Structure formats: structure tokens, C-alpha cells
Amino acid sequence: MEYFNFHTHQFTNQKDVLELVNQYPKDFDSSIAFYSIGIHPWYIDENRLNEDLKIIEEKLQHNNCLAIGECGLDKRIEVPLELQISVFEKQLELAEQFKKPVVIHCVAAFQEITAIKKRMKISVPMIIHGFSKNKQLAEQLIKDGFYLSFGKYLLKNPDLKTVFQEIPNDRFFLETDTIQETIQQVYELASEYKELNIKEIQGIISSNYKSVFE
């Protein structure tokens, strides 16, 4: 593995890239090599919730299912927060049961997610994907035991440069999510911001991968 794409919705099947492809229970594609699977807060369907959770539980027992998610909380959607929390907590229980890391979608609900992590005493790694906020929040999340993944906003928002530069090297991942840019482009910008060469960034991500996924 030369490159690790922590979170993507597009399976490109490049031989030098390990892609953690986001999958949803009802649209599961068995041809995808490595994946995470979860119930995104946008797509909670109470009519099929038990069925979705059963599919997730079954897939988590496979070695090529590397993580649960993306799942989490989003205060800017109409799905009631209480329902989102219930579905999120059910998935965290599965993550603990099967010892899988969690890919987290969080919009305006960092306090709630941190409180849930502490209350449930979650021991598996929890990674906030698509981080785009300020240095103070980044520092607090890292202090609370989270990892942060950067991609789309790192490419599009120059203000994130100083935030990313101060993230400890053992606490970040890189991703493409839904963007057209490649993971190689994200690595290039990350290496520029961290003032390291590509090989050094690859080494850092490889080490973090081993800490979280192995």
C-alpha cells in the first residue's frame, strides 16, 4: 500500500491505493475490496432499521470490512436528533462488539458525539472524517481521543492549512470522500503543508493505519 484513502464513495481499484469505500446496507456491493458499512444519519429509515443493523452486524465479521460508518450526528437535517443518537449508539455497540474503528460524520454535534464516546466508554478508534473546523476544536477532539481525517476541505479551504499543520502526525488520515481529485493530490498538499516529502507522509499514514486497523 503506497496510499491509503481513509474515506471514499468511489471505488477506483488502483493497485497502489488501499481504498476504504463507504457502503450502505441496502446498496451493498460485494465486488468492493475493502469497505466501511454503516447507517448515515441522512439515510435513517425506521422501516428498515433492524434489517440494516443485521446486515451491518453480518458484514462486520468479514476481514475486508475495515470499519463501521460513516455514521454519526447531523444537526442540520430534519431527522430528529434523538433518533440519530439512538441509531448512532446502536452502531457504536456493534463497533465495540466486533472491535472495528468508527468513521464519523459530524455536523454541529461535536459536543454530543464526545459525550456519547465518554458515556459509552468507547474503546475502539473513532475518526472524524472530512474535518473542516478550527484549531481549538481540533485540539479538543484529539485530547478526547479522536483521530481526524482531511481531504475535500483541505484542498478547497486555505484557512485549514494552519489547523492541519498542528495536527500531531500520529492522529490524522487523508481521504477524497466525494471529490474528483485523487488521493495522490491530497497527499501532495498534505506533504507541502507538513513540509515533508511524499514518502514521509506515506510512512505516517501507514503507521496510523496499523495503529487503527490492525
Place of cell 462486520: 60
CA gap 89, 129 in Å, rounded: 18
From the list 129, 77, 142, the residue with the least C-alpha distance to 102 is 129
pLDDT band at 167 (very low <50, low <70, confident <90, very high): very high
Average pLDDT, stretch 26-48? Answer: 97
Cα 24 from Cα 37, distance rounded (Å): 6
Answer whether residue 168 shows pLDDT above 90.
yes
pLDDT digits (tens, 9 = 90+) for 63-99: 999 999 999 999 999 999 999 999 999 999 999 999 9
Transcribe 116-139 into DSSP letters.
HHHHTT--S-EEE-S--S-HHHHH
Angle of CA points 80, 42, 52, to nearest 5°: 95
pLDDT tens digits, 105-164: 999 999 999 999 999 999 999 999 999 999 999 999 999 999 999 999 999 999 999 999
What's the rounded mean pLDDT across residues 9-35?
96
Q: What is the pLDDT of residue 1?
A: 86
Which CATH number does the domain housing residue 198 bear? 3.20.20.140
Q: What angle do CA 116, 122, 123 make, to 5 degrees?
A: 160
Domain total for the chain? Answer: 1
What is the chain's mean pLDDT, rounded? 97
Q: pLDDT at residue 55 above 90? A: yes
Domain span holding position 100: 3-213
| Res 193 pLDDT > 90 | yes
Q: Crossing angle of helices 110-119/81-98, nearest 10°?
A: 40
